[in-house]
Amino acid sequence: MTQRLIAIGDIHGCRTALETVLDAIDPTGEDIIVTLGDYIDRGPDSRGVIDTLIRLADRSQVVGVLGNHEEMMLEVLHHGGSHHAWLRYGGVETLESYGFDGDLDFLPPEHQQFLDSLGDFYVAGDFFFTHAAYDPELPLEEQEIEMLRWYSLTNGIPPQHQSGKTAVVGHTANRDGEILDSGHLICLDTYCYGGGWLTAMDVNTRQVWQANEKGELRQ
Ligand SMILES: [Mn+2]
C-alpha cells in the first residue's frame, strides 16, 4: 500500500463537506493527513468538525496546524483576550455549535487535547505546511506567527522558501473554488463556508478531492 500525504484546506465548521471528502479519500492507516487549520468559525458545525478530526486520528496519521481562528478562540477562552474580533469573524457560530450558555469553559477535554496538539508548521518530504504563509528568508523554526498564521496572499505571494520545499497553505480563500498553484506555493482554501468547496490534495500525485456543504463531491 502506498503512503499518501494528503492536505486538507480550511474547513470552518463545514462538517458535511469534511465527511463527504473523507468518504471519497477513504483514509488508511498508512496515510498522513495534514489539516491546515481554521477548523472552526463561520460554518454551521465547528464542534462536529473537531469530533470528526479526532475520530479520523483513530484510522490515519493526522497532523494538524493551528489556524488564526483557533488562535483567536483560545485567546478568548484561556488568556482573557477580547472577544470582539473573534465573534465578528465567526465565533458566534462556534459558540452555538457547543451550546454555549455563558460559561467559557465549554470545550470537552478531548477537544482541548486536539487543539493542544496543533503545531505552527509541519514538514514532510519536499513539502512544508503552514496555515497562511511564511517568510521566504527565515528557517521554519524562526518564523513569526504573523506570517505563519495571519498573512494574506492578497498582499502578494512570497517567493520560494529558502529550504527549496513547496509550501502548502490555506487561509486566503479563493472564492472561485479553484486551487491556487504557483509552483512553489499551493493554497487549498477554496471558500467552503461561503458556498465554495472544501479541498483535499494528495500533494505527491496532485490528486484532488473537493466537496461542498451540500454534500456534493467533485474530483
Ligand atoms: Mn485563516
What is the whole-number distance in angstroms between the Cα of residue 172 and the centre of ligand 1? 7
Percent of the chain topping pLDDT 70: 100
Whichever domain contains 104, its CATH number is: 3.60.21.10
Total residue length of the chain: 219
170 occurs within a structural domain: yes
What is the whole-number distance in angstroms between the Cα of residue 11 and the centre of ligand 1? 10
205 occurs within a structural domain: yes
217 occurs within a structural domain: no
For residue 18 the three cell numbers come to 469534511
pTM, two decimal places: 0.97
> Which residues are CB-neighbours of 40 under 8 A, at least 6 positions away?
12, 13, 46, 49, 50, 69, 70, 73, 90, 94
218 occurs within a structural domain: no
What is the whole-number distance in angstroms between the Cα of residue 189 and the centre of ligand 1? 9
* Model confidence pLDDT, tens digit, residues 153-187: 999 999 999 999 999 999 999 999 999 999 999 99
17 occurs within a structural domain: yes
Number of independent structural domains in the chain? 1
3-class state of residue 116 by DSSP: helix
What is the whole-number distance in angstroms between the Cα of residue 219 and the centre of ligand 1? 24
Of the candidates 120, 116, 117, 125, the one whose C-alpha atom is nearest the C-alpha of residue 135 is 120
Average pLDDT, the chain: 97
* Model confidence pLDDT, tens digit, residues 77-133: 999 999 999 999 999 999 999 999 999 999 999 999 999 999 999 999 999 999 999
Which structural domain, as residue segments, surrounds residue 53?
Answer: 5-211
